[in-house]
Each structure stands twice: as structure tokens, then as C-alpha cells.
Copies of this chain bind each other. A is one copy, B any other.
């Protein structure tokens, strides 16, 4: 991976996340990245493929952020780490999240259950904690984490919410 290719990916990520895929032209990316427009097509073939490579990176990044939760064995610790996950994410990763949430609504974007592994982890956790309906609890927790992430990205999150959730889950 050359420096310029990385610059294209980095710039495209930022512009796609900020303005959206359709609203971001390849010439705009090239200018912002400080490269010629042709280089984008040399490296990625077409615009859609640039997005595709970006989404692979995005998925890897997000998987990496979830890793500490997967590796945690103590169920209570799983819940704590899950609830506070959005807060612990460094701002440099925000564009990845933003792109992910934005692209959910695109018709081409097939969401084919990328969240199944984390839902299974949550279900195991709630089973270990003797919750009556661990499957539904897992869905609820997943919804909460997503909502917190969205609130943070849209700059309308209130930190008081976290201790409230900790009490709810007796943590």
C-alpha cells in the first residue's frame, strides 16, 4: 500500500462519512487527498469499488473495537464493557461508525446479520446471569449500544445515562 493510496482511502472515508457517498465526487476526493483524479481509478477501478474497500476496512476496525468484549469471560464485565464501549471509542474512529450507520440505509448495502456474533455473546452473558429471556435481552442491549453510539455521533449524548444503565443491569 503506497502512501498516496492510503491518503485516498483516508480522505474518501472522511468525505463519504461527512457528506455521503453520492454527494462526494471523485474529483473532490482527489483534490482533498492531494492526488490526481486518475490515480483513484488506477488503484480502485471505480468509485463503487473504492467504497467497497473502505467498507472492508470499516468492518475490520469495528470488529477490532468489539474484541475486548468477545474476549471477556466475566459476564458482568461484558456488560460494563459493552455499555461503555461507545464512550471509549477514540474520535479518530468516528468516521468509520458514521459511514457504517449512514450506509445502513442504502439499497445496495446488504446488512446480512453482521451483528449475529455479538448478539450470541450477549445471549450467553445474560444466560450466565440467569436472565429469563436472554435472547430478547441481547437484542435490547444491542439496541441500547447502537442508540448511544448514534447519540454520540449526532452530538446529543448525556453522560448521566451510563450510570443509570449500570444500575439497571446491577453493575
Residues of A within 8 A of B (CB): 18-20, 22-23, 98, 101-102, 104-107, 111, 113, 133, 136, 139-140, 143-144, 146-148, 150, 154, 156, 158, 160-161, 164-165, 167
Within the assembled complex, what's the spacing in Å between the Cα atoms of A18 and B109? Answer: 12
Contact of A164 among B19, B136, B144, B148 (CB under 8 A): B136
Cβ-defined contact, A154 with B104, below 8 A: yes
Closest to A109 in B: B154
Within the assembled complex, what's the spacing in Å between the Cα atoms of A155 and B165? Answer: 28
Residues of B with C-beta under 8 A to A167: 133
Residues of B with C-beta under 8 A to A113: 156
Contact of A107 among B18, B101, B105, B143 (CB under 8 A): B18
Q: Is the interface of A mostly helix, strand, loop or mixed?
A: helix
Contact of A160 among B20, B23, B136, B164 (CB under 8 A): B136
Contact of A143 among B19, B133, B144 (CB under 8 A): B144
Cβ of A112 to closest chain B Cβ, rounded Å: 10
Within the assembled complex, what's the spacing in Å between the Cα atoms of A20 and B164? Answer: 36
Closest to A132 in B: B167
Cβ-defined contact, B154 with A143, below 8 A: no
